[in-house]
């Protein structure tokens, strides 16, 4: 059974979880989460998921090198996104790097941190569609998630998000 959310209990605060990747829509989700967190006294959690499907099939040294390179790239991305969040709202986000499947890691992080109250995703605007995570929502893969999901249209400008957040 999922843990009860504690974000409104004394000593806790509501946190917005944002998947930190290199897509343009990540910036829209981060912008919304940072603005909303600032306006409500909350926090932001940035999750970067390393997807190293080929690593187990590699020699030990190669797998370690692949993992180290992916971790360095994730940390660099988190540095940029953290600076962006601070510039937007003055909030210093929590940073988490995990390895595995994205949906699995999102579920795990939410289960581990009872203050995470909202998952914020943004829809892609390209010809490829809204993105794989958003597409998986339509298939019901997120039905067991214990928190609401906020979907930010990827085409919204900063000022349009400001009006909503």
Among 22-26, 34-38, 60-64, 69-73, the range scoring the smallest mean pLDDT is 60-64
Residue 158 to residues 94, 152, 153, Cα–Cα distance (Å): 22, 12, 12
In terms of residues, how long is the chain?
A: 165
Q: What tens digit of pLDDT does each residue of 68-114 get?
A: 899 999 999 999 999 999 999 999 999 999 999 888 899 999 999 99
State the pLDDT at residue 128: 72
The answer on pLDDT for 35 being more than 60 is yes
The tally of CA atoms less than 13 A away on the side-chain side of residue 107 is 13
Q: Is 97 helix (H, G, I), strand (E, B) or coil?
A: strand
Is residue 116 classed exposed, middle or buried when 0-12, 13-18 and 19+ CB atoms within 10 A define those classes? Answer: buried
How many Å from the N-terminal Cα to the C-terminal Cα in the chain? 31
pTM for the model stands at: 0.87
Q: What tens digit of pLDDT does each residue of 8-24 get?
A: 777 889 999 999 998 88
The runs of H, that is alpha helices, within the chain are 24-40, 60-89, 102-112, 132-138, 158-164
Instruction: Select from 67, 50, 47 the least CA-distant residue to 101.
Output: 50
């Amino acid at each position: 059974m999922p843990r009860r959310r504690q974000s409104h209990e004394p000593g806790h605060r509501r946190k917005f979880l944002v998947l930190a990747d290199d897509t343009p829509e990540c910036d829209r989700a981060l912008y919304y989460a940072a603005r909303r967190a600032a306006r409500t006294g909350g926090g932001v959690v940035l999750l970067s998921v390393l997807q190293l499907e080929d690593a187990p099939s590699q020699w030990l040294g190669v797998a370690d090198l692949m993992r180290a390179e992916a971790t360095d790239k994730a940390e660099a991305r988190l540095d940029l996104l953290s600076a962006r969040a601070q510039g937007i709202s003055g909030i210093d986000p929590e940073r988490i790097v995990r390895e595995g499947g994205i949906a699995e890691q999102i579920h795990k992080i939410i289960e581990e941190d009872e203050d995470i109250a909202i998952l914020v995703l943004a829809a892609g605007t390209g010809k490829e569609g809204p993105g794989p995570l958003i597409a998986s929502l339509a298939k019901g893969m997120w039905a067991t998630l214990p928190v609401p999901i906020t979907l930010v249209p990827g085409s919204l400008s900063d000022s349009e998000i400001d009006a909503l957040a």
